[in-house]
Structure 1
Amino acid sequence: MDIKELLNQTDHFAANTGCRIVEVDDQHAVAEMTVNSMHLNGGHVCQGGALFTLADLAIAALMNQHGELTFGISNNIMFVASALEGDHLRAEATFVADHHKIPSVQVSVTNQEGKLICHVTGMGYRKSKPLPPK
Protein backbone atom coordinates (compact mmCIF):
# COMPACT_ATOMS: atom_id res chain seq x y z
CA MET A 1 0.00 0.00 0.00
CA ASP A 2 1.42 3.41 -0.91
CA ILE A 3 1.43 6.43 1.39
CA LYS A 4 -1.52 8.05 -0.41
CA GLU A 5 -3.75 5.03 0.26
CA LEU A 6 -2.38 4.53 3.77
CA LEU A 7 -3.03 8.10 4.94
CA ASN A 8 -6.40 8.35 3.20
CA GLN A 9 -7.48 5.19 5.03
CA THR A 10 -5.85 5.67 8.44
CA ASP A 11 -5.69 9.43 9.15
CA HIS A 12 -9.22 9.58 10.53
CA PHE A 13 -8.94 13.15 11.79
CA ALA A 14 -7.98 14.50 8.37
CA ALA A 15 -10.64 12.37 6.66
CA ASN A 16 -13.33 13.61 9.06
CA THR A 17 -12.45 17.19 8.13
CA GLY A 18 -12.77 16.43 4.41
CA CYS A 19 -9.04 16.36 3.60
CA ARG A 20 -7.60 13.80 1.16
CA ILE A 21 -4.22 13.13 -0.39
CA VAL A 22 -4.51 13.28 -4.18
CA GLU A 23 -0.86 13.14 -5.34
CA VAL A 24 2.46 11.98 -3.91
CA ASP A 25 5.87 11.48 -5.49
CA ASP A 26 9.50 11.83 -4.37
CA GLN A 27 9.45 15.64 -4.37
CA HIS A 28 5.89 16.78 -3.67
CA ALA A 29 2.55 15.82 -2.16
CA VAL A 30 -0.88 17.37 -2.65
CA ALA A 31 -3.88 17.30 -0.33
CA GLU A 32 -7.27 18.84 -1.15
CA MET A 33 -10.46 19.83 0.63
CA THR A 34 -13.56 21.87 -0.08
CA VAL A 35 -14.50 24.41 2.59
CA ASN A 36 -17.99 23.81 3.95
CA SER A 37 -19.96 25.15 6.90
CA MET A 38 -18.20 22.90 9.44
CA HIS A 39 -14.88 24.61 8.58
CA LEU A 40 -16.11 28.16 9.28
CA ASN A 41 -15.14 30.21 12.32
CA GLY A 42 -17.10 33.01 13.98
CA GLY A 43 -16.02 35.43 11.24
CA HIS A 44 -17.59 33.16 8.58
CA VAL A 45 -14.23 32.27 7.00
CA CYS A 46 -12.29 29.00 7.09
CA GLN A 47 -10.89 28.32 10.56
CA GLY A 48 -7.09 28.29 10.75
CA GLY A 49 -7.05 24.81 12.25
CA ALA A 50 -8.78 23.42 9.16
CA LEU A 51 -6.15 25.05 6.94
CA PHE A 52 -3.39 23.66 9.13
CA THR A 53 -4.90 20.15 9.05
CA LEU A 54 -4.92 20.25 5.24
CA ALA A 55 -1.29 21.41 5.09
CA ASP A 56 -0.23 18.93 7.78
CA LEU A 57 -1.69 16.03 5.79
CA ALA A 58 0.35 17.04 2.73
CA ILE A 59 3.45 17.34 4.94
CA ALA A 60 2.84 13.87 6.40
CA ALA A 61 2.46 12.33 2.95
CA LEU A 62 5.68 13.86 1.66
CA MET A 63 7.80 13.16 4.73
CA ASN A 64 6.57 9.56 5.05
CA GLN A 65 6.52 8.60 1.36
CA HIS A 66 9.77 6.62 1.66
CA GLY A 67 8.08 4.32 4.21
CA GLU A 68 10.10 5.52 7.19
CA LEU A 69 8.02 6.74 10.16
CA THR A 70 8.40 10.53 10.41
CA PHE A 71 6.67 12.83 12.89
CA GLY A 72 6.40 16.60 12.79
CA ILE A 73 8.54 18.43 15.35
CA SER A 74 8.05 22.05 14.33
CA ASN A 75 5.56 23.87 12.10
CA ASN A 76 4.78 27.47 11.28
CA ILE A 77 1.75 28.85 9.46
CA MET A 78 1.34 32.30 7.92
CA PHE A 79 -2.20 33.27 6.89
CA VAL A 80 -2.27 35.45 3.76
CA ALA A 81 -5.95 35.49 2.74
CA SER A 82 -9.26 34.04 3.89
CA ALA A 83 -10.82 30.92 2.44
CA LEU A 84 -14.59 31.03 2.07
CA GLU A 85 -17.33 28.43 2.11
CA GLY A 86 -17.33 26.63 -1.23
CA ASP A 87 -13.63 27.25 -1.93
CA HIS A 88 -11.70 24.21 -3.13
CA LEU A 89 -8.30 24.25 -1.45
CA ARG A 90 -5.08 22.59 -2.60
CA ALA A 91 -2.08 22.15 -0.29
CA GLU A 92 1.12 21.38 -2.17
CA ALA A 93 4.10 20.31 -0.07
CA THR A 94 7.66 20.30 -1.43
CA PHE A 95 10.95 19.51 0.24
CA VAL A 96 13.24 22.29 1.33
CA ALA A 97 15.68 19.61 2.49
CA ASP A 98 15.08 15.85 2.43
CA HIS A 99 17.53 15.19 5.24
CA HIS A 100 17.78 11.56 6.39
CA LYS A 101 16.83 12.51 9.99
CA ILE A 102 15.34 16.04 9.99
CA PRO A 103 13.48 16.73 6.74
CA SER A 104 12.14 20.22 6.05
CA VAL A 105 9.07 21.01 3.96
CA GLN A 106 7.19 24.06 2.68
CA VAL A 107 3.51 24.09 1.76
CA SER A 108 1.43 26.52 -0.25
CA VAL A 109 -2.33 26.34 0.28
CA THR A 110 -4.21 27.91 -2.63
CA ASN A 111 -7.85 28.17 -3.65
CA GLN A 112 -9.48 27.17 -6.94
CA GLU A 113 -8.24 30.42 -8.54
CA GLY A 114 -4.64 29.80 -7.50
CA LYS A 115 -4.79 32.52 -4.83
CA LEU A 116 -2.43 31.90 -1.90
CA ILE A 117 -4.40 31.36 1.31
CA CYS A 118 -1.57 30.37 3.64
CA HIS A 119 2.05 29.29 3.68
CA VAL A 120 3.27 26.56 6.04
CA THR A 121 6.74 25.33 6.87
CA GLY A 122 7.48 22.17 8.76
CA MET A 123 10.29 20.02 10.08
CA GLY A 124 10.08 16.37 10.93
CA TYR A 125 12.01 13.69 12.73
CA ARG A 126 12.58 10.31 11.05
CA LYS A 127 12.40 7.52 13.61
CA SER A 128 14.43 4.90 11.67
CA LYS A 129 11.39 2.64 11.90
CA PRO A 130 9.04 1.53 9.15
CA LEU A 131 5.54 2.96 8.95
CA PRO A 132 3.06 0.91 10.97
CA PRO A 133 0.94 -1.48 8.92
CA LYS A 134 -2.60 -0.44 8.10
Structure 2
Amino acid sequence: MTMQNNVNAARHHIETLYAQDVCAQNMGIQIEHIDIGLARLSMKIVPHMLNGHHRCHGGILFSLADTAFAYACNSEGLAAVASRGSIDFIRPALVGDQLTATASVRHQGKNTGLYDVEIINQNGNVVAFFRGYSHRLSPPISDNTLKKNQPNRQGE
Protein backbone atom coordinates (compact mmCIF):
# COMPACT_ATOMS: atom_id res chain seq x y z
CA MET A 1 0.00 0.00 0.00
CA THR A 2 1.40 3.42 -0.93
CA MET A 3 1.77 6.24 1.59
CA GLN A 4 -1.12 8.12 -0.03
CA ASN A 5 -3.32 5.03 0.21
CA ASN A 6 -2.39 4.75 3.91
CA VAL A 7 -3.35 8.39 4.47
CA ASN A 8 -6.63 7.91 2.60
CA ALA A 9 -7.37 4.81 4.70
CA ALA A 10 -6.61 6.79 7.88
CA ARG A 11 -9.06 9.50 6.82
CA HIS A 12 -11.71 6.91 6.04
CA HIS A 13 -11.30 5.24 9.46
CA ILE A 14 -11.65 8.55 11.27
CA GLU A 15 -14.57 9.78 9.16
CA THR A 16 -16.31 6.49 10.04
CA LEU A 17 -15.64 7.05 13.75
CA TYR A 18 -16.73 10.71 13.55
CA ALA A 19 -20.01 9.77 11.84
CA GLN A 20 -20.91 7.85 15.01
CA ASP A 21 -19.30 10.24 17.53
CA VAL A 22 -22.41 12.00 18.79
CA CYS A 23 -20.47 13.74 21.57
CA ALA A 24 -17.96 15.35 19.19
CA GLN A 25 -20.72 16.39 16.81
CA ASN A 26 -22.82 17.94 19.60
CA MET A 27 -19.78 19.86 20.85
CA GLY A 28 -19.26 21.33 17.39
CA ILE A 29 -15.90 19.61 16.91
CA GLN A 30 -14.78 19.62 13.28
CA ILE A 31 -12.07 17.53 11.61
CA GLU A 32 -9.45 19.78 10.00
CA HIS A 33 -6.76 17.25 9.07
CA ILE A 34 -6.09 13.53 9.50
CA ASP A 35 -2.87 11.68 8.78
CA ILE A 36 -1.33 8.51 10.15
CA GLY A 37 -0.73 9.16 13.86
CA LEU A 38 -1.99 12.74 13.61
CA ALA A 39 -5.31 14.51 13.99
CA ARG A 40 -6.13 18.23 13.94
CA LEU A 41 -9.60 19.24 15.13
CA SER A 42 -11.26 22.58 15.77
CA MET A 43 -14.10 23.86 17.92
CA LYS A 44 -15.63 27.26 18.68
CA ILE A 45 -16.33 28.12 22.32
CA VAL A 46 -20.01 29.00 22.77
CA PRO A 47 -21.83 30.29 25.89
CA HIS A 48 -23.09 26.90 27.12
CA MET A 49 -19.45 25.75 27.42
CA LEU A 50 -18.58 28.35 30.08
CA ASN A 51 -18.06 27.73 33.78
CA GLY A 52 -19.01 30.07 36.64
CA HIS A 53 -15.95 32.25 35.95
CA HIS A 54 -17.09 32.93 32.36
CA ARG A 55 -14.28 30.80 30.95
CA CYS A 56 -14.45 27.55 29.02
CA HIS A 57 -15.01 24.65 31.40
CA GLY A 58 -11.93 22.45 31.75
CA GLY A 59 -13.97 19.36 30.93
CA ILE A 60 -14.79 20.82 27.52
CA LEU A 61 -11.09 21.37 26.81
CA PHE A 62 -10.32 17.84 28.01
CA SER A 63 -13.02 16.45 25.71
CA LEU A 64 -11.62 18.32 22.69
CA ALA A 65 -8.10 17.05 23.43
CA ASP A 66 -9.33 13.52 24.15
CA THR A 67 -11.21 13.44 20.85
CA ALA A 68 -8.12 14.56 18.91
CA PHE A 69 -6.11 11.91 20.79
CA ALA A 70 -8.71 9.24 19.96
CA TYR A 71 -8.68 10.08 16.27
CA ALA A 72 -4.86 10.11 16.10
CA CYS A 73 -4.49 6.76 17.86
CA ASN A 74 -7.20 5.12 15.72
CA SER A 75 -5.88 6.53 12.43
CA GLU A 76 -4.00 3.36 11.48
CA GLY A 77 -7.23 1.39 11.43
CA LEU A 78 -6.38 -0.54 14.59
CA ALA A 79 -8.99 0.01 17.30
CA ALA A 80 -7.52 1.84 20.29
CA VAL A 81 -8.90 3.27 23.52
CA ALA A 82 -7.44 5.55 26.17
CA SER A 83 -5.79 3.96 29.17
CA ARG A 84 -4.82 7.30 30.73
CA GLY A 85 -4.96 11.00 29.98
CA SER A 86 -3.90 14.19 31.71
CA ILE A 87 -4.16 17.86 30.86
CA ASP A 88 -2.36 21.05 31.85
CA PHE A 89 -4.38 24.24 31.47
CA ILE A 90 -2.16 27.13 30.36
CA ARG A 91 -4.58 30.00 29.70
CA PRO A 92 -8.35 30.36 29.64
CA ALA A 93 -10.46 29.94 26.54
CA LEU A 94 -13.26 32.48 26.25
CA VAL A 95 -16.58 32.59 24.46
CA GLY A 96 -16.00 33.13 20.75
CA ASP A 97 -12.51 31.61 20.78
CA GLN A 98 -11.76 29.24 17.91
CA LEU A 99 -9.65 26.40 19.28
CA THR A 100 -7.48 23.95 17.37
CA ALA A 101 -6.31 20.69 18.94
CA THR A 102 -3.43 18.88 17.25
CA ALA A 103 -2.70 15.34 18.42
CA SER A 104 0.43 13.49 17.36
CA VAL A 105 1.99 10.15 18.18
CA ARG A 106 5.17 10.20 20.26
CA HIS A 107 5.56 6.43 20.54
CA GLN A 108 3.51 3.53 19.21
CA GLY A 109 4.31 0.00 20.29
CA LYS A 110 2.47 -3.19 19.44
CA ASN A 111 -0.31 -2.52 21.97
CA THR A 112 0.39 0.78 23.73
CA GLY A 113 0.93 4.28 22.45
CA LEU A 114 1.85 7.71 23.76
CA TYR A 115 0.29 10.83 22.22
CA ASP A 116 0.58 14.56 22.86
CA VAL A 117 -2.11 17.11 22.10
CA GLU A 118 -1.66 20.87 21.97
CA ILE A 119 -4.71 23.15 22.03
CA ILE A 120 -4.22 26.68 20.69
CA ASN A 121 -6.61 29.58 20.20
CA GLN A 122 -7.17 31.66 17.06
CA ASN A 123 -4.14 33.83 17.96
CA GLY A 124 -1.81 30.84 18.19
CA ASN A 125 -1.63 31.04 21.99
CA VAL A 126 -1.40 27.72 23.81
CA VAL A 127 -4.52 27.03 25.88
CA ALA A 128 -3.69 23.51 27.11
CA PHE A 129 -1.38 20.52 26.75
CA PHE A 130 -2.74 16.97 26.97
CA ARG A 131 -0.89 13.67 27.14
CA GLY A 132 -2.69 10.41 26.46
CA TYR A 133 -1.78 6.76 26.62
CA SER A 134 -3.59 4.34 24.34
CA HIS A 135 -4.20 0.61 24.33
CA ARG A 136 -4.95 -1.24 21.10
CA LEU A 137 -7.84 -3.66 20.93
CA SER A 138 -8.62 -6.30 18.35
CA PRO A 139 -9.93 -6.79 15.71
CA PRO A 140 -8.98 -3.90 13.39
CA ILE A 141 -11.54 -1.18 12.76
CA SER A 142 -14.02 -1.83 9.98
CA ASP A 143 -17.30 -0.18 9.09
CA ASN A 144 -19.09 -3.37 10.18
CA THR A 145 -17.22 -3.54 13.51
CA LEU A 146 -18.21 0.03 14.35
CA LYS A 147 -21.86 -0.56 13.50
CA LYS A 148 -22.00 -3.76 15.58
CA ASN A 149 -20.50 -2.00 18.62
CA GLN A 150 -23.20 0.66 18.83
CA PRO A 151 -25.11 0.49 22.10
CA ASN A 152 -28.80 -0.19 21.65
CA ARG A 153 -30.45 2.21 24.09
CA GLN A 154 -34.02 3.24 23.64
CA GLY A 155 -35.04 6.82 24.38
CA GLU A 156 -31.56 8.34 24.49
TM-score of the two chains, using structure 2 as the length reference: 0.82
Question: Comparing both structures, which one devotes a greater share of its residues to helix?
Answer: 2
The one of 31, 39, 59 equivalent to 1:29 is 39
Distance 1:15 1:48 in 2: 18
Residue identity in the other structure for 2:67: L
Task: String of CA shifts for 1:77-119, please: whole Å, max 9, x gaps.
Answer: 0000000000000000011102221011000000001100000
The one of 53, 65, 83 equivalent to 1:55 is 65
Give the 4+ runs in structure 1 shifted more than 6 A: none
> Are residues 1:105 and 2:115 paired?
yes
Question: Comparing both structures, which one devotes a greater share of its residues to strand?
Answer: 1
Q: Structure 1: any 5+ residue segments left out of the alignment? A: none
Distance 1:93 1:38 in 2: 25
Distance 1:118 1:54 in 2: 10
* Residues 43 and 100, structure 2, Cα contact 8 Å, conserved in 1: yes
Structure possessing the higher radius of gyration over alpha carbons:
2
Number of positions where the alignment pairs a residue of Structure 1 with one of Structure 2: 134
Match of 1:122 in 2: 132
Match of 1:44 in 2: 54
- What SS class does the counterpart of residue 62 from structure 2 fall into? helix
* Residues 4 and 21, structure 1, Cα contact 8 Å, conserved in 2: no
Written as runs of structure 1 = structure 2, the 5 A alignment for 1:61-76 is 61-76=71-86
Across the aligned residues of Structure 1 and Structure 2, the Cα RMSD in angstroms comes to: 1.3
